[in-house]
């Protein structure tokens, strides 16, 4: 048997592996791939019950009060959400209104999360089946939407809000007033 015949399977496997790695590094950004179709449109209609005791639920009409705000999609079981919690507290301290949507979560778990990480939320709706999350074009947690005072979605922030993003978020919300 010729020597090159033995190397063909290894060369094919190496070629396929190389193509796989190339596609990983050349993939479109997550934001381009899963951007919400609700940007510059009114938030879809919803009415969510409270996610935990002591905090009001959330409905779409709560978002059209004349005040711009953030709607933050989170879950108690989400590790990045815990990392984001101090940034949301900073935004709240700077006067930003933040409403939350807790997805696929138990009331007692939401309460423990808020007790441990703080509660920056004015309201928190329980989205047990992720119906509202999917309706607004959110694909994961954490994810935030900047909403103008009329209840129109103006921007989507996928992933964790970081400290360096806070000034820009505040400026964008201020511009919506």
Beta bridge partners of 74: 102
What is the reported pLDDT for 4?
64
Q: What share of the chain is helix, strand, coil (3-state, %, to 5)?
A: 45, 20, 35
Greater confidence (30 vs 132) lies with 132
Give the rounded percent of residues in the chain with a pLDDT score beyond 90: 76
What is the reported pLDDT for 28?
47
Greater confidence (111 vs 139) lies with 111
Are 50 and 124 contacting, i.e. CB atoms less than 8 angstroms apart?
yes
Angle of the 79-93 helix axis to the 166-175 helix axis, nearest 10: 60
Task: Report the range of poorest mean pLDDT among 14-28, 82-96, 106-120.
Answer: 14-28
Closest CA to 111 of 29, 54, 49: 54
């Amino acid at each position: 048997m010729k020597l090159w015949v033995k190397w063909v399977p290894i060369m094919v496997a190496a070629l396929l592996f190389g193509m796989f790695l190339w596609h990983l590094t050349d993939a479109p950004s997550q934001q381009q791939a899963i951007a919400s179709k609700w940007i510059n449109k009114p938030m879809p209609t919803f009415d969510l019950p409270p996610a935990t005791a002591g905090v009001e639920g959330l409905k779409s009409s709560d978002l059209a009060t004349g005040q711009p705000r953030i709607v933050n999609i989170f879950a108690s079981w989400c590790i990045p959400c815990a990392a984001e919690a101090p940034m949301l507290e900073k935004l709240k301290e700077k006067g930003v209104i933040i409403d939350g949507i807790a997805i696929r979560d138990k009331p007692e778990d939401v309460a423990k999360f808020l007790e441990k990480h703080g509660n920056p939320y004015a309201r928190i709706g329980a989205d047990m089946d992720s119906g509202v999350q999917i309706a607004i074009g959110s694909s994961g947690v954490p994810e935030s939407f900047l909403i103008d005072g009329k209840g129109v979605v103006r921007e989507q922030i996928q992933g964790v809000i970081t400290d360096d993003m806070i000034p820009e978020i505040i400026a964008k919300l201020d511009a919506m007033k």
